[in-house]
Chain A
Amino acid sequence: MLNKVVNEKQPARSAVAGKSVVMLEEHIVEVVSDSGEGAQKCGQSFGSIAARTGNGIWTVEIIPAEIQPPARSMAGASGNRVRLASQAVSNVGDEADLVVAFNEQVLLGRLWANELKPGCIILLESKWATDQDREIATSYARAYAKLVDEGYRVYEVPMEAECLKLVADARRGKNMFVLGLLCNMYSFDLQMGREQVAFVFANKDASVIDANVRLLEAGYAWAEANLDLKFRIPASKAREPQIVVNGNIALGLGVLASGMEICAMYPITPATSASHYLSDVFEQVGGLVHQAEDEIAACSFAIGASYAGKCAVTITSGPGYSLKQEAIGLAVMAEIPLVVVNVQRGGPCTGQPTKAEQGDLLSACFGSHGDAPKVVMAAATIEDCFYSMITARRIAELFNMVVIVLTDANLATAQQPFLRPRFDEAWLAPPTDQGAVPEGVKPYDWDARTGLARRFIPGQPSGMHCLTGLAHDRNSHVAYDPQSNEDGIRHRSLKLAALQKTLKTPSVYGDEEGELLVVGWGSTKGAIEEAVDRVRADRKKVSSLHMRFLQPMPSGVKQVLQGFDKVMTVENSWSDSLDDEIIDEDNRRFSNLAWLLRARYLIDIDCWSEVMGQPTKPGTIARIIREKLQ
Chain B
Amino acid sequence: MAAPVSVCLLRLEDEHYALGDYQRGISRWCTGCGDNAILTAVQRLCRDDQLAPEKTVFVSGIGCSSRFPHYMNVYGFHGVHGRALPVAEGIKMTRPDLNVFVSTGDGDCCSIGTAHWIHAIRYNMDMTVVLHDNQVYGLTKMQVSPTSPHGLKTKTTPRGAYLQPLNPLTVTLGISNVSFVAQTVDWIPELLHETISLAFRHKGFSFVRVLQRCPEYLPGAFDPWVKDPGRTLLLVHKDGIEPSAGLSKTYRNQEEHDPLNLDRAREIASITDPIPVGVLYWKRDVPRYEDIRDTTRLYTADTIKAALEKEFDKFTIGPAD
Chain A residues near B (Cβ < 8 Å): 1-2, 48, 51-52, 237-245, 249, 253, 256-257, 259, 261-262, 264, 281, 283-288, 290, 292-294, 296-298, 300-310, 312, 326-327, 329-330, 334, 417, 420-421, 423, 425, 428, 431-432, 434-435, 458-470, 478
Contacts and interface: CB of A to CB of B under 8 A. Distances in A.
Contacts of B299: 261, 285-286
19 contacts: A242-B318, A244-B315, A256-B304, A261-B94, A281-B307, A281-B311, A288-B1, A294-B115, A301-B89, A302-B90, A310-B94, A326-B80, A326-B83, A327-B80, A428-B301, A431-B4, A464-B74, A464-B75, A469-B79
Q: Which 7 A/B pairs are nearest by Cβ-Cβ distance?
A: A304-B90, A466-B76, A241-B318, A300-B86, A286-B299, A305-B90, A304-B87
A556 B286 CA distance: 59
Contacts of A1: 313-314, 316-317, 320-321
Contact of A459 (B98, B295, B318): B98
A434 B299 CA distance: 17
B21 to A, nearest CB: 10
B95 A301 contact: no
A466 B315 CA distance: 46
B87 A307 contact: yes
A326 B312 CA distance: 37
B257 interface: no
A305 B91 contact: yes
Contacts of A2: 321
Contacts of B119: 292-293, 297
A311 to B, nearest CB: 10
A297 to B, nearest CB: 4
A310 B304 CA distance: 15
Contact of B317 (A52, A284, A288): A52
Contacts of A253: 308, 311-312
Interface stretch (B51-59, B193-201, B244-252): B51-59
A256 B54 contact: no
A288 B315 contact: no
A85 B55 CA distance: 59
Contacts of A308: 57, 90-91, 94-95, 98
A113 to B, nearest CB: 30
Contacts of B57: 308, 458
Residue of A290, A432, A464 contacting most chain B CB atoms (<10 Å): A464
B297 A286 contact: yes
B224 interface: no
A467 B2 contact: no
Contacts of B58: 466
Nearest to B84: A300
Contacts of B118: 293
Given A1-B317, A300-B86, A308-B94, 20 more contacts: A51-B317, A240-B318, A256-B307, A262-B94, A286-B2, A292-B86, A301-B86, A301-B90, A301-B93, A304-B77, A304-B86, A304-B91, A327-B80, A434-B7, A435-B6, A463-B54, A466-B70, A467-B75, A468-B70, A469-B80
Contacts of B209: none
B321 A52 contact: yes
A303 B90 contact: yes
Contacts of B301: 425, 428
B24 interface: yes
A420 B316 contact: yes
Contact of B79 (A300, A431, A460): A300
Nearest to A296: B83
B94 A309 contact: yes
Contacts of B26: none
B75 A463 contact: yes
B293 interface: yes
B78 A467 contact: yes
B301 to A, nearest CB: 5
B318 to A, nearest CB: 3
A425 B305 CA distance: 8
Contact of A243 (B55, B78, B316): B316
B183 to A, nearest CB: 25
B295 A286 contact: yes
B93 A469 contact: no
A304 B75 contact: no
Given A1-B321, A256-B308, A262-B93, A300 B78 contact: no
Contacts of B72: 466
Given A243-B317, A262-B90, A468 B304 contact: no
B116 interface: yes
